[in-house]
Amino acid sequence: MILAIASGKGGTGKTTVAVNLARVLERPVQLLDCDVEEPNSHLFLPGGTIREEAVSIPVPEVDESLCDGCGECGRFCAYHAIVSFRAKPLVFADMCHGCGGCMLVCPKKSIREIPKRIGTIERKQAGKITLVTGRLDVGQAMAPPLIRAVKERLQPGMPAILDAPPGTSCPVIAAIRGADFVLLVTEPTPFGLHDLKLAVDMVKELGLPFGVLVNRAGSGDDRVHAFCCESSVPILAEIADDRRIAEAYSRGQLIVEALPAYRDLFSKLAEMLLADHSSKGG
Amino acid sequence: MKIAITTSGSDLGAPLDSRFGRSPKFLVYDLDNEKFEIIDNQQNLNAAQGAGIQSAETVVRSGAKALVSGHCGPKAFRVLAAAGIKVYTSDAPTIAAALELFQAGKLKEAVGADVEGHW
């Protein structure tokens, strides 16, 4: 069972929900921090050993002695990562998505791929939680390949929670694609509602089953609830707008440990969403 | 010799656009016959990335041997330099004013990008 925690708007509580669900599960679980531009799940799960490995994407390297400057590579590349003027193609490795297309279309076979480091994957064990964190190197723009590399570390047979990046763009798609269920975390504010609508459209487009968690319930207005009701989007849980939660969060504490009153809410949600009887070997 | 100038307008009185990669248009002026053509660059206005590279390719294809703009980023400069196009930055208010400065030899050739990407 792979559960993705996503949202349109940032700062609605994805990580809070992800780490607390992982903690209350009380059986081995994988937590994958796919918010590789600013991973933060690890802040709530201290201890354990850390292993780190580098992740690279393939980028083109041109052998100018073989290149006749035909320009096929530049015409193929949708991202202008390789630009050809006569016999001297220019490679912009930062723009490269690593698809390998330029290498395939080159009639002279003058392009080969060399690895370019984009980030790291860290692994640590915090009790029953195996945390896998992707961390994009500063200055790198290509999050999706690193997110896919994080997901390749998924071990079948153990439930997994994916902490997705915010938004509805490529990194989010890379994170939630293939999940068995997507939990969309929102807040009852105009911004929360606006971005929730985008997120709902996104998961519908991907054909993924989903539900909504309303965080900071009671803080804004009732339009998120009205939207969910009108659109037949299930609200699976609500977390109250409680200052003590923010205080615990600011100290790096888990809600289920600092505020036991909320334990039940997370336990029920975890059982509902990560039950054993689900698909994909989970 | 042709010279490309960034602009949002369509004639010599139009303002010089300070951006290169996301300039709405290029006015390509032919110094030999004093005629010009307008090349649309709208496709790059909303590009997430790669606008400078694509704009530079457009300028290369226009046949221009020099470019006058407000600024030029690193990737665009690399493409323009590879194609042998000289880059001049100017804060002239209009295309006509920029052309006058160019012809008077008062514009200094840039030796590298003068701004970061996505400035």
**Cβ-nearest to B79 among A79, A90, A141:** A90
Strands B35-40 and B25-30: antiparallel
Per-residue pLDDT, A282: 39
Nearest chain A Cα distance for residue B50, angstroms = 6
Put simply, the chain B residues between 49 and 108 with a CB less than 8 A from any chain A CB are 49-50, 53-54, 56-57, 60, 75, 78-79, 82-83
Comparing A61 with A88, the larger pLDDT belongs to: A61
Q: With contacts defined as CB-CB under 8 Å, which chain A residues touch B54?
A: 80
B118 pLDDT band, cuts 50/70/90, is low
Task: Flag if B49 and A141 touch (Cβ within 8 Å).
Answer: yes
CATH code reported for the domain at A58-117: 3.30.70.20
Average pLDDT, integer, range A187-201: 97
Check CB contact of A83 with chain B, cutoff 8 Å: yes
From start to end of A110-169, where are the E strands? Answer: 111-126, 129-136, 160-163
Task: Flag if B53 and A141 touch (Cβ within 8 Å).
Answer: no
Highest mean pLDDT among A188-192, A271-275, B71-75 belongs to A188-192
Average pLDDT, integer, range A102-119: 96
- Using an 8 Å Cβ cutoff, are A135 and A52 in contact? no
Instruction: In whole angstroms, give the CA distance from residue A184 to residue A172.
Output: 12
Only one residue has tokens 């690279």, namely: A56
Closest CA in chain A for residue B57? A83
Which tokens in the block code for residue A271? Answer: 């059982």
Q: With contacts defined as CB-CB under 8 Å, which chain A residues touch B50?
A: 79-81, 92, 95
The predicted complex's ipTM stands at 0.77
| DSSP per-residue string spanning A72-110 | HHHHH-TT--EEEETTEEEE-GGG-----HHHHH-TT--
For residue B105, the one-letter residue type is G
**Cβ-nearest to A85 among B54, B60, B75:** B60
Q: DSSP class of residue B16?
A: B
- Using an 8 Å Cβ cutoff, are A234 and A212 in contact? yes
- Using an 8 Å Cβ cutoff, are B59 and B80 in contact? yes
Dihedral, CA of residue A99, residue A204, residue A11 and residue A245, to nearest 10: -130
Nearest chain A Cα distance for residue B102, angstroms = 26
* Lowest mean pLDDT, pick from A140-154, A176-190, B41-55, B81-95: B41-55
Length of chain A: 282
A48 pLDDT band, cuts 50/70/90, is confident
- Using an 8 Å Cβ cutoff, are A254 and A129 in contact? no
**Cβ-nearest to B53 among A88, A92, A141:** A92
Question: Can you identify the CATH homologous superfamily of domain A2-55+118-273?
Answer: P-loop containing nucleotide triphosphate hydrolases (3.40.50.300)
Only one residue has tokens 């990669």, namely: B21
Per-residue pLDDT, A161: 98
Task: Flag if B49 and A90 touch (Cβ within 8 Å).
Answer: no
Per-residue pLDDT, B43: 80
Average pLDDT, integer, range A177-181: 97
Q: Taking the model in full, what pTM does it have?
A: 0.83
Instruction: In whole angstroms, give the CA distance from residue A212 to residue B62.
Output: 53
Best residue in B22, B49, B60, B65 to probe A by mutation, most A CBs within 10 Å? B49
Q: With contacts defined as CB-CB under 8 Å, which chain B residues touch A141?
A: 49
Comparing A110 with A88, the larger pLDDT belongs to: A110
Per-residue pLDDT, B44: 76
pLDDT in tens, A116-165: 999 999 999 999 999 999 999 999 989 999 999 999 999 999 999 999 99
Instruction: In whole angstroms, give the CA distance from residue A102 to residue A11.
Output: 39
Task: Flag if B75 and A141 touch (Cβ within 8 Å).
Answer: no
- Using an 8 Å Cβ cutoff, are A102 and A77 in contact? yes
Instruction: In whole angstroms, give the CA distance from residue A140 to residue A118.
Output: 6
Average pLDDT, integer, range B12-39: 95
Question: Quick one: CATH architecture of B2-103?
Answer: 2-Layer Sandwich (3.30)
B119 pLDDT band, cuts 50/70/90, is low
Only one residue has tokens 């880059």, namely: B87
Q: Is A206 helix (H, G, I), strand (E, B) or coil?
A: helix
Percent above pLDDT 90 for chain A? 89
For residue A9, the one-letter residue type is K
Best residue in B43, B44, B53 to probe A by mutation, most A CBs within 10 Å? B53
Check CB contact of A75 with chain B, cutoff 8 Å: no
* Lowest mean pLDDT, pick from A31-40, A79-88, A267-276, B15-24: A79-88
pLDDT in tens, B52-84: 999 999 999 999 999 999 999 999 999 999 999
**Range(s) for CATH 3.40.50.300 in chain A?**
2-55+118-273
Instruction: In whole angstroms, give the CA distance from residue A100 to residue A136.
Output: 21
Residue A279: pLDDT above 90? no
* Lowest mean pLDDT, pick from A47-51, A130-134, A154-158, A192-196: A47-51
Check CB contact of B9 with chain A, cutoff 8 Å: no
Average pLDDT, integer, range A165-178: 97
Percent above pLDDT 70 for chain B? 98
